[in-house]
Chain A
């Protein structure tokens, strides 16, 4: 079990939020994947009531997820980027959206989770930021990599809050494993065009 102090937990939560914001704002996939890894580590540090083994397992899952996504992006030759037409994608638009959603989700999460006695101050902030910004990322793109990254942020944020109310290790183990499945599916969807063209040939 990791016991972060009040200020330290807030700093870790803000770092997680900053990494999530960077993933939304980044134009390059490499930056986005690196930001995702930072999110995993910060979220793991905020799992206040989980055994250390599960915290380490979550970091390992994060490393595997980012490894899978990085290798797939590199192998499909699409390390650069990729914003879809039809969805607002300007930098200023995304920046304003990130700030608004971050503020709203932080205050909502503090109202929802902050009332609990057991929650350290960083928990509601981290949970709110990751869930809110993750949902924003899902809404801003239809590209599997970005949607998958947003989903992992949402699950990470949820797990930060859920560890304060649910003690069942098996359940947390299952939830922690889901990002790995999502990463595999994202990788599968990313390599599909290549497989499709091969079939045509």
Chain B
């Protein structure tokens, strides 16, 4: 038995089963949520390449699956990362009961998670670029559900991921020529430039973010949140593996200085555009871009602590964005709309969903006492331009959130929204509590997420 084959076969089998049962919402929801959670648990708990047994039957689970001369490896270097991706998926599937992002969400979501997990396990890791491209193609089914015709944004995402894949494959070829050790900066210039381009495309860094605002205007908020969180987690782990593998990249101080200034530029752009939006979904998308800038700032510190912080911020984003998306989905499903005109006074009609949206948005902004704040506080602690960028984005996105607060509590419009069920109220309330709890006790989240870096010896060692 080998773990990668078991894991991927289980995920694919579950996806097929969920696709067959897609019209039975509760069954599909339970299968996807519990299945992804179970997969996460197994990945965290499995003892690889060690003799063990179940009910007296001797079993040894190998961590390597060789296929067409290449390997998928699950081991100490990636076990936490793979488990984390499944855990994120399970968490998001749980909220989908209320969000209802479309019939294909669970099945396509499981395939997407399987592909991201495969991208984390594949050796050589450059194959991950091709698997992430496949993931982007499958994600079209999530962003553009069958009941929503003619969306342009998903194809834009596929185009950008294709270009990213090409850039990374060429960068990988150049990197193989240079080798894993130190290399002269002059010789490494082309590979570095191509790697930066590829990662910018995969991480949707401006100006390659165009699919995000378009999707925000068209796709279901929860579907968009799922695709952003899972795809960017995969892309971030690929960045870390790439940097971990090549010393000439890891030790290039100019590259990290460039990343810091790029992050400050992205933060300024996202903060300004975030404040100017009249669409709730687009405000959240620019808040996500601002968050990406903060993650990049943490990454650019060129230290093990900075890489860990980048991962921790990614974990906090999962909570913030999914809580926002949960509330926004409830409002959208009730026919409330997305613009400031349509949402004026909605706070009186759907107070819990509105509160969830606002708490999620404040948390994305990194407002104190929310899940997004502790990571920003740590980035700010280094002082200098980083602190200014963090304070600037925090203030700008918080200001946008305050403006939305004033909009949703403007004099109420005369319309009725459907009553929320007990389970909906429970999940919305749990989302708000989670955001606040992790803001007060970040130690509940960060050690889990940060552990994903432990297998990358080049980075973990500093």
Contacts and interface: CB of A to CB of B under 8 A. Distances in A.
B23 interface: no
Contacts of B414: none
Interface stretch (A20-28, A89-97, A103-111, A178-186): A178-186
A181 B146 contact: no
Contact of A171 (B127, B134, B159): B127
B137 A169 contact: no
Contact of B137 (A170, A174, A181): A181
Contact of A195 (B134, B146, B166): B146
Nearest to A150: B159
B158 A182 contact: yes
A111 B231 CA distance: 34
Interface stretch (B62-70, B238-246, B435-443): B62-70
A138 interface: yes
B155 A199 contact: no
Contacts of A158: 166, 169
Given A171-B130, A174-B130, A196-B148, A185 B162 contact: no
B141 A151 contact: no
B170 to A, nearest CB: 8
B155 A154 contact: no
A165 B173 contact: yes
- The secondary structure that dominates the B interface is helix
Interface residues of A, number: 31
B137 A178 contact: yes
Interface in A135-190: 138, 142, 144, 147-148, 151, 154-155, 158, 162, 165-166, 168-171, 173-175, 178, 181-182, 185, 188-189
Contacts of A162: 169-170, 173
Given A165-B173, A178-B130, A142 B146 contact: no
B140 interface: yes
A192 B68 contact: no
Given A189-B154, A196-B148, A168 B166 contact: no
Given A169-B68, A178-B137, A182-B158, A142 B152 contact: yes
Interface in B180-227: none
B147 A169 contact: no
A170 B147 CA distance: 37
Contacts of A197: 149
B158 A192 contact: no
A171 B131 CA distance: 10
B118 to A, nearest CB: 11
Given A170-B69, A174-B130, A192-B146, A148 B140 contact: no
Contacts of B162: 151, 154-155, 178
B58 interface: no
A195 to B, nearest CB: 5
A192 B159 contact: no
Closest 4 CB pairs of A and B: A196-B149, A193-B149, A170-B68, A199-B147
26 contacts: A142-B155, A144-B155, A151-B162, A154-B163, A154-B166, A162-B169, A168-B69, A168-B70, A169-B69, A170-B67, A170-B69, A170-B70, A171-B130, A173-B68, A178-B134, A185-B141, A188-B144, A189-B140, A189-B144, A189-B151, A192-B146, A192-B151, A195-B147, A196-B146, A196-B149, A197-B149
Given A142-B155, A151-B162, A185-B141, 20 more contacts: A155-B162, A158-B166, A162-B169, A162-B170, A162-B173, A168-B70, A169-B68, A171-B130, A171-B169, A173-B68, A174-B127, A174-B130, A174-B131, A178-B134, A181-B137, A181-B138, A188-B140, A188-B144, A192-B146, A195-B147
